[in-house]
Amino acid sequence: MQAEDRADFEAFVVARSHALFRTALTLTGHRQQAEDLLQIALVRTVRHWRRVSADNPEAYLRTVMYRQQMNWWRQRGRRPETPLPVPPDRGQADSTAAVDLSLLVDTALRRLAPRQRAVLTLRYLEDLSVEDAAEILGCSPGTVRSQTVRALRRLRELCPELDLRQNEGIHR
């Protein structure tokens, strides 16, 4: 890698690593895995830097991250043993404290299948259209729609307080 390209790449990493790490952390739910995921995506990006830097390196890197995360999930035989920074026990909701709902939502999001979490991240956190999300994940828009529905349904199963809290708000 030539010095000029390397300087460009380093500047890109300095500018965007914070946001990219957030995405990796959202996808994996685990700091160590997020660092690994980001590092692998950066290695792949730097190998093609001259080509991707002329276009949209961040889009390329994000696509690599999402697809890599999906591949890891498949390669683990859908039986991931993921170390969690906190015990995965589900807390009891205190109906008067909004913070409890946040904790329950966070726990439920961590328990979603990686693909489901990836779809929600693309659709809600990154606010991408179904088609753009499909492009990144390398699947059809119909698959993204289906996964979104399933992810939300699973989230409601894991965290029924979401709907309870909503109903409380309506009746108030």
Partner 1 sequence: MTDHVTREVTAGLGRLGAGTPPAPDALAAGAVRGAARVRRARVAGTFVAVAVVIAVAVGVATAATPRRRSLPATPPTGGHLVVAGIGCTAFPGYSMLLDPDTGAYRKVPYCVEDVSPDGRRATVSEYVAAGREFRDGALTIATGQVVWFDDPYGRGVWSPDGRHVLMGADIDVASSGAWLADPDTGRVARISFGDLGDHQIDQVVWTPNGDLLATASCGCLPAALYGYDLGGHLVRSLPKAPRYPWPRGLYPGRVSPDGRYLVETSESTGEGFVTSILLDGAGARAVGHFGLRGYFVVGWYDATHLVVREGARSGKRPTELVVMDLGGHITSRLTRDVDSSSSSEQTLTTLFIATATDATGDKAF
Identified binder of partner 1 from the candidate list 59, 84, 142, 160, rule CB under 8 A: 142
The dihedral region occupied by 29, where left means phi > 0, alpha psi between -120 and 50, and beta the remainder, is left
Q: Is 72 in the site for partner 1 (CB under 8 A)?
A: no
**Minimum gap (Å) between residue 164 Cβ and partner 1:** 11
Burial class (CB in 10 A: 0-12, 13-18, 19+), 102: exposed
Burial class (CB in 10 A: 0-12, 13-18, 19+), 171: exposed
Q: Is 50 in the site for partner 1 (CB under 8 A)?
A: no
Take residue 167 and report the two structure tokens written for it: 């109903």
**Minimum gap (Å) between residue 19 Cβ and partner 1:** 9
Identified binder of partner 1 from the candidate list 64, 134, 136, 158, rule CB under 8 A: 134
Chain centroid to Cα 34, Å, comes to: 10
Whichever of 79 and 92 has its CB closer to partner 1, that residue is 79
Applying CB under 8 A, the span of 32-40, 50-58, 89-97 interacting with partner 1 comes to 32-40
